[in-house]
Amino acid sequence: MATPGGAEPMIAPSILSADFARLGEEAEAVANADWLHIDMMDAHFVPNLTIGLPVVQSLKKATDLPLDCHLMIDDPDRWAVGYAEAGARNVTFHAEAARDVVQTARSIRAAGARAGLALKPATSFDDYQDVLAEFDMLLVMTVEPGFGGQEFMADMMPKVVQARRFLRDNEMQLWIQVDGGVAADTIEECARAGADMFVAGSAVYGAHDPAKAVTALRERAEAAIPTSNRGTH
């Protein structure tokens, strides 16, 4: 099982860009991916509305891919643990939405999943560095959460650099995930900045061959990850 700090970049296709009427097949189409990214939106924390726990439970039965649940919902303190109990490999919730990030992370981990902390573009890394020991992953959003197919925010790269430096200086092993606008023309700068877990929606499901797109993204990221990061994060 992959652990945070592994040297290899990981690709997590986002089913937000898939055909929701054929989710099982769409998961199969990216069987060569590392994780399958699932976006929960509640029309409160973000303007958009997507799916919830029943769909995750069904997907768990339909695919062997580890499920990476990204909760863009209010009150994750209440709901996050249910996704862990449903068998998600990882449950990420937003720092801005949680009342008690530490307690929520602990309940996710206690239920057997990895815990991820997501930061919207305006949320600074400094405010959360002290709680990172409770997490397996930091998600630096590279768009405003809510919709697929938005333009990549290159101005989030300094946050990735800062997070990678902090983890290295403190000998902490977390994945750094980027989500939003990650594609063939942006994944390399994410990797160079220090990201090692890449969510891609439209770049994978918008491609003629989603599995080929996964492989191509992984190769680009692999070539761009600085040698100095390998094995040290």
DSSP codes of every residue in 144-188 = -TT-SSPPP-GGGHHHHHHHHHHHHHTT---EEEEESS-STTTHH
Least CB distance to Zn ion at residue 179 (A): 4
Q: How far apart are CA 126 and CA 95, in angstroms?
A: 12
Closest CA relative to residue 132, chosen from 148, 147, 119: 119
**Closest-CA residue to 52 (of 91, 19, 22, 17):** 91
| Residue 61-90 contact track with Zn ion, rule CB under 5 A, x = bound | ---------x--------------------
- Segment interacting with ligand DX5 (CB under 6 A) among 77-85, 87-95, 148-156, 165-173: 148-156
By beta-carbon proximity to Zn ion, the closer residue of 167 and 199 is 199
State the minimum distance, in angstroms, from the CB of residue 225 to Zn ion. Answer: 21
Q: Which of 34, 39, 136, 196 binds Zn ion (CB under 5 A)?
A: 39
Q: Which residues from 157-216 bind ligand DX5, rule CB under 6 A?
A: 179-182, 199-203
Which residues are within 8 A (CB) of 21 and not within 5 positions of it... i.e. 6 or more apart?
Answer: none
- Establish whether 179 is a catalytic residue: yes
Closer residue to Zn ion (CB): 203 or 229: 203
Provide the minimum distance between the beta carbon of 226 and Zn ion in the complex, in angstroms, as a whole number.
25
Residue in this structure with the two tokens 């942006």, named with its chain if needed? 186
Cα of 175 vs its chain's centroid, Å: 9
Q: 163 φ, ψ to 5°?
A: -65, -45
163 binds, among ligand DX5, Zn ion, none (CB under 5 to 8 A by kind): none
Asked if 40 and 71 count as a contact pair (C-beta separation under 8 A), the reply is yes
Angle at 226 between CA 164 and CA 9, to 5 degrees: 75
In whole angstroms, the minimum distance from the beta carbon of 206 to ligand DX5 comes to 8
Any contact of residue 136 with Zn ion (CB under 5 A)?
no
For this structure, is 39 an active site residue? yes
Determine contact, residues 81/93, Cβ cutoff 8 Å.
no
User: Residues 67, 179, 183, 196: which binds Zn ion (CB under 5 A)?
Assistant: 179
Q: Which residues sit at the interface with ligand DX5, rule CB under 6 A?
A: 14, 16-17, 37, 39, 70, 143, 145-150, 179-182, 199-203
Q: Which residues sit at the interface with Zn ion, rule CB under 5 A?
A: 39, 70, 179
Active-site residue list: 39, 179
